[in-house]
Amino acid sequence: MIFFRKNKCVQDGSQLTAAFLIIGLFIVQSTLPAAAAKEGKQTVNKEWHVRLTIKTDDGRQDRSNILGRLKDSKPGKDSHDLPEMPPPPPPMGDRYLSIVFPHPEWKTEMPDYSSDFRSVPVGPNTDDAWKFEIRTHTPGISAELSWEGPAAVLARSRIKEAKSGRVLIEDCVAADRQSFILKKERIPLIWEYRPERGGKAGTKKIKETGGKQHEQNEERKPDA
């Protein structure tokens, strides 16, 4: 975890107080695990969550990023969607590394979020997608994105580039991490939760791929 990762910088010419930093960090770290469903009880047609982690070789890490489904979640923003505090400016923010779920369409004061929950659908065979971004103030560094969650959910999930739609990871249970170079300050990606093989999911049509293409996708690197 980067010390300055989720704490708002006060733009008044004075330095951030130690109390504000500690309180902000404590609130985010203590609230996220409480908002998510307990992993041992997760199933694909009930409550579940997946944790995303980004880390670098020089010790930077952010793992307070959760997407998933909760029974009492509502369409759009609700109490389970926790705002992401903006990074401090240089020089304190030079080591900034984070994953955010951007939602400018919600038109809130802070458009980025560290958690993004959706409601549990009535039927078990439904699809969905979460857009997230890896952000840093030091482009050019190598980083590793990893994920953890229930195997039944990961088996139906894949990661794509947001702009091109190119698949980076076809099966998130077969592979649990991806290494690449952060060539830009923002790397937009999509976590895609697909219907079960042979099933249908509303109006969305997602083309499944065979084993040969699956092997090729695992070797792809994002055009960061």
Closest by Cα among 125, 123, 121, 120 to 196: 125
Q: Are 144 and 133 in contact (CB under 8 A)?
A: no
pLDDT of residue 44: 54
Query: Token pair for residue 37?
Result: 């469903």
Which residues have a Cβ under 8 Å from the Cβ of 79 and sit 6 or more positions away?
none
110-134 pLDDT, tens digit each: 999 999 999 998 776 788 999 999 9
Q: Do 170 and 217 touch, CB atoms closer than 8 A?
A: yes
Q: Is the pLDDT of residue 184 over 70?
A: yes
Find the mean pLDDT for residues 195-223: 43
Give yes or no for residue 53 having a pLDDT over 80.
yes
Mean pLDDT (the chain, rounded): 77
Which of 64-73, 91-100, 175-184, 189-198 has the lowest average pLDDT? 189-198
pLDDT at residue 12 above 50? no
Alpha-carbon span 96 to 114, nearest angstrom: 15
Token pair of 128 as six digits: 């969905």
Stronger pLDDT, 83 or 214, i.e. the higher one: 83
pLDDT band at 197; cut points 50, 70, 90 = low
Pairwise pLDDT comparison (4 vs 106), residue with the higher score: 106
Q: Are 84 and 6 in contact (CB under 8 A)?
A: yes
Predicted confidence (pLDDT) at residue 204 exceeds the cutoff of 60 = no
Is the preceding peptide bond at 87 cis, omega within 30 degrees of 0? no
Backbone CA torsion sign across 157, 163, 167, 168: negative
First to last CA, the chain: 22
In percent, the amount of the chain with pLDDT more than 70 equals 67
CA–CA dist 47, 72 (Å, integer):
10
Rounded percentage of the chain residues whose pLDDT exceeds 90: 58
**Is the pTM value of this prediction over 0.85?**
no
Amino acid 64: pLDDT: 95
What does the pLDDT read at residue 43?
53
Q: Residue 219: what pLDDT?
A: 40
For residue 214, the model assigns a pLDDT of 31
pLDDT at position 58, please? 92
- Contact at 8 Å (CB) between 100 and 82? no
100 vs 118: CA distance, rounded Å: 16
